Amino acid sequence: MTVIIVLFVLLAVLAVYLFLRQPKFGRAPTGKRLEQMKRSANYKEGQFHNLSNTPTLTEGVSFYQAFREFFFSPSKRKKPQVLVPTQKTDLNGLQPNENSLVWFGHSSYFLQLEGKKILVDPVLSGHASPVKFTTRSFGGSDVYTADDIPAIDYLFITHDHWDHLDYTTVMKLKPRIGRIITGLGVGAHLEHWGFAPETIIEKDWDETVVLDDGFVVHTAPTRHFSGRGFRRNGTLWLSFILITPNHRIYFGGDSGYDSHFANIGNKYGPFDLAILENGQYDKNWKYIHMMPEEVLKAAQDLKAGKLLPVHWSKFALANHDWDDPIIRLSAAGIHHTATILTPLIGERVNIDVTTPSTNQWWLSNR
């Protein structure tokens, strides 16, 4: 019996090892890349750290409590009961002079801006986890696939979580990607997947990249974490300030609320548009994702003229109702100065028009 148990354990360990060796898990940074990371002021004791103390769980919440509530007390409306309504814009048919944005659901979006085509955190494979049958996208939300994406000048990856860096999607897009801008360490995954090192730009917080004439990117902190396996924080999570000849846009990535939003707003604002996460929050992990009311405060700190709330309507990664993020944000935003954009997945948004969204499309799915 003892021999059988030992063999079973060894086989289980081998199965986990082989599972984690799949290409989609990427690779840990080594060599010169790791040495560069170690020189970062944000890298200590073998991992990156937030600017403020950021516990994984809220004070007073045990792992057992969070586990029990997540798996055994889920909302009955975590997922919509009918198909998510969408539109489909022909991204290849946009006029060259159009300044447009198309949201793909969750944190994936496309911009055509002053002649450049930009893609942020594309996850278009139908799931946001290493196992295809888990964390499936909501019915109807997969109106776009990688085949619909035109050649991309700049691909931005805010961090390496599965719902932001999708192996299947980026591999299909690889021949059509010009340059990739991301955080320290993430390039190890991309090079392991066959991306040419010269196409990858890895940066720490508070650095600047000149992409092309008039196109400048500044990197900035967020309050979050990273990781694709058991180990956390081996690569850097970050946000981006994109400055073009005529626009100033903030790509927020994932973040809990903190003073960095005001610091960014004071240094780089005001912004024409801020794209901020609004979803997958919980009182048990309040430091790593914002509540909807905090999203509005962050937009105010950033001095944003327009706000696009993302990180909702495609995947259920928390226990709240699927439409709770937009209902709460809309209610709290009545007296807010920023114009709140709430397009359908796939709907073309004219970045230069300040007309607020009036179509509360999520109400048809209640």
- CA quadruple 180, 184, 186, 191: dihedral sign: positive
The mean predicted confidence, pLDDT, of the chain is: 93
Residue 10: phi and psi, rounded to 5, are: -65, -40
Q: What is the dihedral of CA 245, 249, 251, 256, to 10 degrees?
A: 140
Q: 152 by DSSP, 3-state: which? A: strand
Exposed / middle / buried, residue 364 (Cβ in 10 Å: 0-12, 13-18, 19+): exposed
Q: Are 266 and 37 in contact (CB under 8 A)?
A: no
How far apart are alpha carbons 181 and 183 in whole angstroms? 7
Question: For residue 283, how many other CB atoms are within 10 A of its CB?
Answer: 12
Mean pLDDT of 332-347: 89
pLDDT band at 12 (very low <50, low <70, confident <90, very high): low
Q: How many CA atoms are closer than 13 Å to the CA of 22, on its beta-carbon side? A: 12
Q: What is the CA radius of gyration of the chain?
A: 20
Where are any strands of DSSP class E within the chain?
A: 43-44, 47-48, 100-103, 109-113, 116-120, 152-156, 177-183, 200-203, 208-212, 215-220, 239-243, 248-251, 271-277, 304-310, 339-340, 348-350
Question: Tens digits of per-residue pLDDT, 61-119?
Answer: 998 898 888 888 777 899 999 999 999 999 999 998 999 999 999 999 999 999 999 99
Which residue type does 3 have? V
Residue 10 clears pLDDT 70, i.e. is over it: no
pLDDT score recorded for residue 119: 98
pLDDT score recorded for residue 133: 85
Question: Tens digits of per-residue pLDDT, 106-165?
Answer: 999 999 999 999 999 999 999 999 998 889 999 999 999 999 999 999 999 999 999 999
Mean pLDDT of 161-180: 98
How far apart are alpha carbons 120 and 110 in whole angstroms? 6
pLDDT score recorded for residue 25: 95
Q: Are 253 and 239 in contact (CB under 8 A)?
A: yes
Residue 1 clears pLDDT 90, i.e. is over it: no
Q: 271 by DSSP, 3-state: which? A: strand
Mention every residue, 6+ apart, whose C-beta is less than 8 A from residue 155: 118, 119, 120, 122, 170, 173, 177, 178, 179, 180, 181
pLDDT score recorded for residue 64: 84
> How distant is the alpha carbon of residue 337 from its chain centre?
25
pLDDT score recorded for residue 2: 78
Q: Please tell me the least confidently modeled range out of 22-26, 192-196, 238-242, 334-338.
A: 334-338
0.75 cut: is pTM over it?
yes
Domains and their CATH numbers in the chain: 27-365 (3.60.15.10)
Question: Tens digits of per-residue pLDDT, 273-319?
Answer: 999 999 999 999 999 999 999 999 999 999 999 999 999 999 999 99
List 304's β-bridge partners, or say none: 271
Mean pLDDT of 223-244: 96
Residue 15 clears pLDDT 90, i.e. is over it: no
